[in-house]
Amino acid sequence: MRIDDEPAYVLHARPWRETSLLVEVLTREHGRIGLLARGVQGGKKQALRAALQPLQWIRLDAVQAGELAQLRRAESQDAAPRLQGQTMLAAFYINELVLRLAPRHDPAPELYQAYGQVRARLAEADGLAWTLRRFERDLLDALGVGFDWSRAADGQPIDPAARYRLDPQEGPLRLLSERSAGERRGLATGSALLALGGDRRPAAADLASLRPQMRAVLLHHLGGRGLKSWELLGDLAARGG
């Protein structure tokens, strides 16, 4: 199968043999695909190597033959965001999430769109924690495992004053009011769930309550095996991530 002039975002690239690269990209029409880019390490291939760096937005031609497609052409469509520090770690996290959760050769135009949005938001460096929670929400939706953020698992409307645990399959489960303060800690506030569903940035405390619950949901879909980027982002929550 030929893939012609396909827009894509580069998720990961690593050397293969002496002059080639193995590249993972997220395309608009074909979902995540693996590419074999041959002969890109020579001095005359500098522009092509630059186009195959993570976060780069490209257009490519390839021929799909087996698990990997043979790359024929790749051209950058813009300058990739120049990220540093925690923002760069956040980009690594986003790419790792997509690599682990998006199956190959499964078209996901909603995920492609969400990736483009989070890439732009990372470049703006405005509210890293909120940027990540929005992408996690959009990723779950694009993969067909998202939630109705306005209603609990029992069908009742989300109560802004209540606390909820996110069950990966059932959705938000309300904590009974008589439970201890210790049990409430680490649960998402109803206000945070409603804000996330409405794409409205919540207050800082509400936003922070989303992180452990979203991570638990993602860990379920990751088969219980965590991410390398979670180790690198270990102190991000304390700094607003």
Cα–Cα distances (Å) from 118 to 94, 131, 237, in that order, read 9, 7, 18
- What confidence score (pLDDT) does residue 206 get? 97
Q: Cα(200)–Cα(186) distance, rounded to whole angstroms?
A: 21
Q: How far apart are CA 139 and CA 133, in angstroms?
A: 10
CATH number of 85-239: 1.20.1440.120
**pLDDT higher than 70, residue 56:** yes
Stronger pLDDT, 124 or 157, i.e. the higher one: 157
Q: Using the 8-state DSSP alphabet, how is residue 198 labeled?
A: T
Mean pLDDT for 7-32 is 95
Domains 2-76 and 85-239 share a fold: no
pLDDT in tens, 191-235: 999 999 999 999 999 999 999 999 999 999 999 999 999 988 775
Task: Please give the CATH superfamily to which domain 2-76 belongs.
Answer: Nucleic acid-binding proteins (2.40.50.140)
pLDDT of residue 78 exceeding 80: yes
> Distances from the Cα of 198 to the Cαs of 23, 101, 146, 233, in angstroms?
35, 24, 14, 27
**pLDDT at residue 18 above 70?**
yes
CB 160 within 8 A of CB 192: no
pLDDT at 209: 97
**Residues 152-202: tens digit of each pLDDT:** 999 999 999 999 999 999 999 998 764 555 566 789 999 999 999 999 999
How many other C-beta atoms can be found within 10 angstroms of the C-beta atom of residue 155? 8
Other residues' Cβ atoms within 10 Å of the Cβ of residue 123: 16
Asked if the model's pLDDT at residue 45 lies above 90, the reply is no
pLDDT of the residue at 47: 81
Domain ranges of the chain: 2-76, 85-239
Judge whether 72 and 48 are in contact, CB under 8 Å. Answer: no
Q: Which residues contact 113 (CB under 8 A, 6 or more apart)?
A: none
- In this prediction the pTM is 0.92
pLDDT of 44 reads 64
Residue 46 pLDDT > 60: yes
Determine phi and psi for 89, rounding to 5 degrees: -65, -35
Calculate mean pLDDT across residues 48-69: 93
pLDDT score, position 181: 56
Report helix, strand or coil for 166.
Answer: strand
With H, G, I as helix, E, B as strand and everything else as coil, classify residue 226.
coil
pLDDT band at 40 (very low <50, low <70, confident <90, very high): confident
